Amino acid sequence: MNKKWECYEIDEIKVNELINNYGINKILARILVNKKITKKEDIDLFMAPTRKDFHDPFLLPDMEIIVDRILKAIGLKEKIIIYGDYDADGITSVTVLKSFLEERGLEVSSYIPNRLDEGYGLNKEAIKKIHDDGFKLIVTVDCGISGIEEVDYANSLGMEILITDHHEPAEILPKALAVVDAKRRDNKYPFSQLAGVGIVFKLIQAISIKLNLDEKEFLKYLDIVCIGTISDIVPLIDENRVIAKLGLKLIAQTKNIGLKALLEVTGFRNIDSGTISFGVAPRINACGRMGNEKLALDLFLCKDYEEAKKLAIKLNEYNIERQNIEKRIFDEAVEKIEEEEKEKSCIIVEKEGWHHGIIGIVASKVTEMYFKPSILICFDNNEGTGSGRSVPGFDLHDALTKCSNHLEKFGGHSMAVGVTLKKNEFESFKKELEEYAKQLEVDKIVPVINIDSELCLRNVDIESVKSLKMLEPFGEANKMPLFLFENLKINSIRTVSEGKHLKLTLKDDNYMVNAIGFNMGELSEKFLLDDRVDIVGNLDINSFNGMENIQIIIKDMRKSY
């Protein structure tokens, strides 16, 4: 698929100022200028944030109310239950708040809805059960902002609900005792993009301030807060960056027994954002996807290492099972697409028996592969549950509103949605959505690769590449830098891992560099020895047998003009 390459227009005057004033190398200086980070205080905050860089938690709406109510519960020794979500953000949120409140002497239980049976968020059946178990006070984490009817129901039972959430609120807020969400319209907090666990962190920070506790009483949870933040793919800027940067340091020496066991099981050697995104988060999320959400929570709350090791192994097994199911669904979906949907503007496929806890991941892969909006729907007899993903420039949530007469319900945002519908509405829904996408000429949207800088191999050295680690942690709104190398000569080309990956040796005059393109093995048939190519990719250091060499991780390549 042809992609559009766009390079930042770099202000070389500002680049030279950073080089001369702060001793920053040219590659790093260019990236900082691209990010508009040029003042000394902004550079320091980005490169080396400290615990002094956290905002005042009491600027969050209703923070005073929720803190006072929890302090009252501590004083009266009330029972309290935390109602969370089944993903990594929700699990870490429950872990942090439960652990912190138990250390303050509270009796704390937790409830996490089953993804397959109950779905996301508050539900009346769960609230009734919680009430019948004798709980009068519920604190939600990573959910609750959309539970207007459910909160009314809890109120009718004489219960009190304290909401902490980070999702978009509707026009009307739930009638809870407190609603702490930085996305509220009356919010005065200076940063609105915290994850659910980030809001929980601000809550325990606020309680600590009220109780005059030492800072370490809330800072010690930054390892778990970091995991939830990176896992939830919130933008790693501002306070999220402070959380992630400090949290990664704490993870390397974590005292959480469950996390320590999980890190050992993942086999990742380095502790960085990639370890969390590709090692830790998928294993936590696999539990929720497979309908055993409590397992991950048990791991993080575990106090015995041998028991934690068993739980971590179980998480790993669930992840393997999830991967196998995901591969099967993906293969079946691609087969259907190649037969029927490949030329459509919007890909919509269904099958009886697909696992509805996993189709969202597959929809993401399908959209990435074909660069088209996609919705996968699994049917259980007459009931259909679907997940969709979109491409930049096509608002999938808005598109669903045009076809909502065929749906039982739907939700989400422009890039990701969930739907439920009856089987007899599927064909009408599919036809209407495809027609809408066709009218908007979705198939003419071209994927764009944003390139940080064009480089010559002769100007790249190992120390400059190592300095890019200072930009960690990488994630949403702080992607790994992409570089353009033009007119390189292919010195060698082959595939590895049974044709899956592409390996190249590239030459620019007398300068040589190794390159690898993961899942790009098919390109070996399109390029020959001595071809001249342009490469877009990340820079990395490959260590082997005690030797360090620069390596390009290829993201796209084309023949030089």
Which range among 148-157, 201-210, 336-345, 384-393 shows the weakest confidence by mean pLDDT? 336-345
Q: Give the pLDDT mean for 272-282.
A: 94
Confidence band, pLDDT 50/70/90 cuts, at residue 491 = very high
What are the counts of helices (DSSP H) followed by strands (DSSP E) for the chain?
20, 18
Q: Give the pLDDT mean for 171-182.
A: 96
- What pLDDT shows up at residue 268? 84
Residue 90 is part of a domain; what is its CATH number?
A: 3.90.1640.30
Residue type, 543: S
Instruction: Please state, in angstroms and as integers, the Cα–Cα distance from residue 195 to each residue in 87, 181, 192, 277, 546, following that order.
Output: 12, 10, 9, 15, 40
Q: What is the mean pLDDT of the chain?
A: 94
Instruction: Domain of residue 146: give its range.
Output: 53-251
Q: Give the pLDDT mean for 350-377.
A: 94
For residues 90 and 183, state if they share a domain.
yes
Confidence band, pLDDT 50/70/90 cuts, at residue 331 = very high
Domain-ending residue, one of 426, 444, 462: 444
Domain-ending residue, one of 251, 285, 313: 251
In tens, the pLDDT along 511-524 reads 999 999 999 999 99
Q: Give the pLDDT mean for 115-123.
A: 86
For residues 233 and 87, state if they share a domain.
yes
Check: CB of residue 259 under 8 Å from CB of residue 234. Answer: no
For residues 209 and 241, state if they share a domain.
yes
Cβ atoms within 10 Å of 264's Cβ, excluding its own: 14
Residue 545 is part of a domain; what is its CATH number?
A: 2.40.50.460
- What pLDDT shows up at residue 170? 84
For residues 318 and 392, state if they share a domain.
no
Number of structural domains (the chain) is 4
Residue 221 sits at φ, ψ, to 5 deg, of: -95, 5
Check: CB of residue 404 under 8 Å from CB of residue 410. Answer: yes
Cβ atoms within 10 Å of 484's Cβ, excluding its own: 17
- What pLDDT shows up at residue 545? 82
The conformation of residue 190, written as its DSSP 8-state character, comes to: S
Q: Give the pLDDT mean for 171-185.
A: 96
In tens, the pLDDT along 415-453 reads 988 899 999 999 999 999 999 999 999 988 999 999 999
Q: Is 70 exceeded by the pLDDT of residue 1?
A: no
Q: Which residue has the higher pLDDT, 218 or 415?
A: 218
Residue 232 sits at φ, ψ, to 5 deg, of: -85, 0
- What pLDDT shows up at residue 152? 97
For residues 62 and 161, state if they share a domain.
yes
The gap from C-alpha 250 to its chain's centroid, in whole angstroms, comes to 20
For residues 294 and 393, state if they share a domain.
no
In tens, the pLDDT along 280-325 reads 999 999 999 898 989 999 999 999 999 999 999 999 999 999 999 9
Q: Give the pLDDT mean for 190-214.
A: 97
Check: CB of residue 49 under 8 Å from CB of residue 237. Answer: no
For residues 388 and 534, state if they share a domain.
no
Dist CA 445 CA 450 (whole Å): 15
Looking at the DSSP bridge assignments, the partners of residue 504 are 493, 515
Q: Is 90 exceeded by the pLDDT of residue 118?
A: no
State the Cα angle at 483 between 478 and 488, rounded to 5°: 165
For residues 246 and 177, state if they share a domain.
yes
Which range among 212-216, 245-249, 330-334, 474-478 shows the weakest confidence by mean pLDDT? 474-478
pTM score of the predicted model:
0.91
For residues 434 and 462, state if they share a domain.
no
For residues 337 and 349, state if they share a domain.
no
- What pLDDT shows up at residue 458? 87
Which residue in the block uniquely carries the two structure tokens 């099958």?
351
Domain-ending residue, one of 296, 326, 341: 341
Q: Is 70 exceeded by the pLDDT of residue 193?
A: yes
Residue 537 sits at φ, ψ, to 5 deg, of: -170, 175
- What pLDDT shows up at residue 267? 86
- What pLDDT shows up at residue 509? 87
Dist CA 400 CA 430 (whole Å): 11
Q: Give the pLDDT mean for 548-561.
A: 94
Which residue in the block uniquely carries the two structure tokens 């009346």?
124
For residues 120 and 225, state if they share a domain.
yes
> What is the b/e burial string over 152-162, where b = at least 16 CB atoms within 10 angstroms of the residue's CB?
ebbeeeebbbb
Confidence band, pLDDT 50/70/90 cuts, at residue 340 = confident
Q: Is 80 exceeded by the pLDDT of residue 343?
A: yes
Q: Is 80 exceeded by the pLDDT of residue 106?
A: yes
| Closest to 385 (Cα-Cα) out of 80, 25, 89, 119 | 119
Percentage with pLDDT > 70 across the chain: 100
For residues 237 and 104, state if they share a domain.
yes
Q: Give the pLDDT mean for 104-127.
A: 92
Residue 359 is part of a domain; what is its CATH number?
A: 3.10.310.30
Q: Give the pLDDT mean for 48-74.
A: 97
Q: Give the pLDDT mean for 504-516.
A: 94
Cβ atoms within 10 Å of 181's Cβ, excluding its own: 25
